[in-house]
Amino acid sequence: MENNRVIEVKELTKMFGDFTAVSAITFNVKKGEIFGFLGANGAGKTTAMKMLIGISKPTAGAAKVAGFDVASQAEDIKKNIGYMSQKFALYDDLTVKENITFFGGIYGLTRARIKEKTHKLIEELGLQDLTDKLVGSLPLGWKQKIAFSVSLLHEPKIVFLDEPTGGVDPITRRQFWEMIYKSANNGTTIFVTTHYMDEAEYCDRVSIMVNGKIEALDTPKRLKEQYKAETMNDVFLKLARG
């Protein structure tokens, strides 16, 4: 693995029968980066991400995550990454505390560690009154923040976030991104997919997928210059149309 690159993707392709969902994408992500993986719904972002997190086998091409090959070393990758799925997948019928304990345990944290982390998480998010409430009863914004924190329990090098802010109010979104910044500052690499173009502004670098291909890859600033656009939204519109 080259010193700084935590994710290396080369010509990664995924086909379902005749349909090409991801077409020979190539890119790299550096340690500590907040990398935005953008694209419209159905562009192939989630499919690409699934290959990187080891739950989908590539049809062609190669990729390395945290130094491990996605095709042959998927289980090793999983030890080193965190994931927040689109559905925030925490168990609705378990309490906040129980969810934390469960995922912590699955990742091999010791009892003591889990206790410590639980305490910390609850403090940071201000969940003192909610620890023993079933996750299903919490509003969306809370679920999402907890899910993010749970994905970081085992202090992974890279965290993959799939549309983490879907359906959440702007204030909560802002708060969420603050949490992301904090993690990135601690050295965690953040790989986030989203179709909210304004969130692209928050990323260090951004790639835009259109119909399975990466049509643009650069910092938001440079992309706006390149496409002569005011906002990332405009960049995207120009790309999609073009």
Partner 1 sequence: MKTIGYIIQKEFKQIFRNKGMLPIIFIMPMVQLLILANAATFEIKNIKFAYLDNDRTPTSRALLEKFNASTYFNVLMDYASEKEANSAMLNGDVDVVLEIPPYFERDLIKEKQNELGLTINAIDGATAGVESVYVSQIVQSFNKNLRTELMQASDKINRPIQITTIPSFWYNETLNYKTFMVPGILVLLVTMITLFLSGMNIVREKEIGTLEQINVTPIQKKQFIIGKLFPFWVIGMGLLTIGLIIAKLIFDIPIVGSLALMYAYTSIYIFVVLGIGLFISNFTNTQQQAMFIAWFFMVIFILMSGLFTPIESMPQWAQFITEFNPIKYFVEVMRMVMLKGSSFADILPQMIKTLLYALVMNGLAVWSYKKTN
Closer to partner 1 by Cβ: residue 71 or 237? 71
- The window from 2-10, 48-56, 61-69, 229-237 that contacts partner 1 (CB under 8 A) reads 48-56
Closer to partner 1 by Cβ: residue 86 or 226? 86
> What are the residues facing 20 on neighbouring strands?
15
Closer to partner 1 by Cβ: residue 125 or 134? 134
> What are the residues facing 13 on neighbouring strands?
60
Q: Per DSSP, which regions of the chain are E strands?
A: 5-16, 19-30, 34-39, 60-65, 68-69, 81-84, 158-162, 189-194, 205-210, 213-218
- The window from 30-38, 52-60, 197-205, 208-216 that contacts partner 1 (CB under 8 A) reads 52-60
Question: Could you tell me the smallest distance in angstroms from the CB atom of residue 26 to partner 1?
Answer: 22
Strands 158-162 and 81-84: parallel
The binding track of 131-160 with respect to partner 1, each residue x by CB under 8 A or -, is ---x-------------------------x
SS3 43: coil
- Restricting to residues 157-216, which ones interact with partner 1 according to CB under 8 A? 160
Count the Cβ atoms, other than its own, within 10 Å of residue 233.
14
Question: Could you tell me the smallest distance in angstroms from the CB atom of residue 107 to partner 1?
Answer: 6
Q: How far is CA 6 from CA 28, 34, 88, 190, 238, in A?
A: 8, 12, 24, 10, 30
Report how far residue 120's alpha carbon sits from residue 142's, in angstroms, rounded to the nearest whole number: 16
- Among the listed residues 34, 156, 155, 134, the one whose alpha carbon sits nearest the alpha carbon of residue 90: 134
Question: Could you tell me the smallest distance in angstroms from the CB atom of residue 117 to partner 1?
Answer: 14
215 touches 209 (CB < 8 A): yes
Closer to partner 1 by Cβ: residue 39 or 54? 54
Site residue total, partner 1 (CB under 8 A): 30
DSSP letter at 57? -
- Restricting to residues 66-125, which ones interact with partner 1 according to CB under 8 A? 74-75, 78-79, 81, 83, 85-87, 89-94, 98, 101-103, 105-108
The total number of residues shown for the chain amounts to: 242
Closer to partner 1 by Cβ: residue 91 or 181? 91
The binding track of 19-38 with respect to partner 1, each residue x by CB under 8 A or -, is --------------------
Point out which residues bind partner 1 (CB under 8 A).
53-57, 74-75, 78-79, 81, 83, 85-87, 89-94, 98, 101-103, 105-108, 134, 160
